[in-house]
């Protein structure tokens, strides 16, 4: 039995939830998120609560999806009310971020600047105090992380010289250069 799945999801005051077949839609002034859950799980709205239960207690797949579905719906409620933010840091002498309209321009040591189109729903902002930091925010954690990962993939961390684009909460161990054999 899933300890997480048993817990009901208590909806906050301003949040609306609608269940249409195998889809749940959660609305708030920040936006709307939609999740399509498996047919092996029941999702029921009771006044201010959402209850998730498996259709068959003997099916291992429905038991596995029970807690996962409940956790995703609970997280959707949190993201819609508070939003989600990911911060990236760039480090090297001439490396920098620039935000121009709907593009993110990266100067990361290539002979040209790298242009990345920013999806319309994402908010990408340079940090006011530190010019080597950029903040990506929106209500969907998956899309924020995906865009941050695409940016980070443009210049992966290089531990010898210290050149990188990294997440602000990430720790990169610096490595020493190879020492040659002295005669």
Average pLDDT over every residue of 171-180: 82
Average pLDDT over every residue of 133-147: 93
Asked if pLDDT for residue 143 goes beyond 70, the answer is: yes
Residue ranges making up the domain that contains 30? 3-82
User: Could you give the angle at the alpha carbon of 75 between the alpha carbons of 73 and 77, nearest 5°?
Assistant: 75
CATH number of the domain that 163 lies in?
3.90.930.12
Q: Given the structure tokens 């209500």, which residue do they identify? A: 139
User: Is the same domain home to 15 and 78?
Assistant: yes
pLDDT value of residue 94 = 85
User: Is the same domain home to 145 and 156?
Assistant: yes
β-strand partners of 17? 26
In a domain, 183, yes or no: no
Domain boundary among 65, 82, 99: 82
User: Is the same domain home to 12 and 70?
Assistant: yes
Strands 114-117 and 123-126: unpaired
In a domain, 9, yes or no: yes
87 band by pLDDT with thresholds 50, 70 and 90: very high
183 band by pLDDT with thresholds 50, 70 and 90: low
Domain boundary among 64, 82, 100: 82
Per the model's pLDDT, the better-predicted residue between 44 and 183 turns out to be: 44
- Going across the sheet that includes 84-91, the strands are 123-126, 133-138, 84-91, 164-167
In a domain, 66, yes or no: yes
In a domain, 180, yes or no: no
Average pLDDT, the chain: 89
In a domain, 97, yes or no: yes
User: Is the same domain home to 111 and 158?
Assistant: yes
Average pLDDT over every residue of 87-112: 90
In a domain, 176, yes or no: no
User: Is the same domain home to 29 and 78?
Assistant: yes
Asked if pLDDT for residue 182 goes beyond 70, the answer is: no
Q: b or e along 20-56 (b: 16 or more beta carbons within 10 Å of the residue's beta carbon)?
A: eeeebebebeeeebeeebbebbebeeeeeebebbbee
Task: Encode pLDDT of 27-82 as tens digits.
Answer: 987 789 999 999 999 999 998 899 999 998 898 898 889 999 999 999 998 888 88
DSSP states along the chain: --HHHHSPEEPPTT-EEEEETTEEEEEETTEEEEEE--TTEEEEEETTEEEEEES-TT-HHHHHHHHHHHHHHHHHHHHHHH-EEEEEEEESSS-EEEEETTEEEEESSSSSPEEEEPPTT-EEEE-SS-TTEEEEEES-HHHHHHHHHHHHHTS--BTTTTBEEEETT------PPPPPPP-
pLDDT value of residue 13 = 85
Domain boundary among 57, 82, 107: 82
In a domain, 48, yes or no: yes
Q: What pTM did the predictor assign?
A: 0.79
Task: Encode pLDDT of 102-116 as tens digits.
Answer: 999 999 888 999 999
In a domain, 63, yes or no: yes
């Amino acid at each position: 039995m899933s300890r997480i799945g048993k817990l009901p999801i208590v909806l906050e005051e301003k949040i609306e939830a609608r269940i249409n077949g195998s889809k749940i839609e959660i609305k708030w002034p920040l936006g709307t998120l939609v999740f399509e859950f498996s047919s092996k799980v029941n999702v029921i709205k009771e006044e201010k609560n959402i209850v998730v239960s498996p259709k068959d207690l003997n099916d291992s797949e429905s038991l596995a999806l029970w807690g996962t579905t409940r956790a995703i719906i609970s997280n959707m409620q949190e993201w819609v009310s508070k939003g989600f933010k990911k911060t990236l840091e760039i480090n090297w002498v001439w490396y920098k971020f620039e935000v121009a309209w709907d593009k993110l321009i990266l100067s990361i040591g290539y002979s040209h600047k790298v242009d990345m189109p920013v999806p319309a729903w994402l908010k990408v902002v340079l940090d006011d105090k530190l010019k080597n930091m950029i903040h990506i925010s929106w209500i969907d954690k998956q899309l924020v992380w995906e865009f941050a990962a695409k940016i980070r993939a443009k210049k992966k961390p290089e531990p010898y010289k210290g050149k990188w684009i990294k997440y602000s909460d990430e720790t990169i161990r610096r490595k020493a250069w190879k020492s040659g054999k002295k005669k």
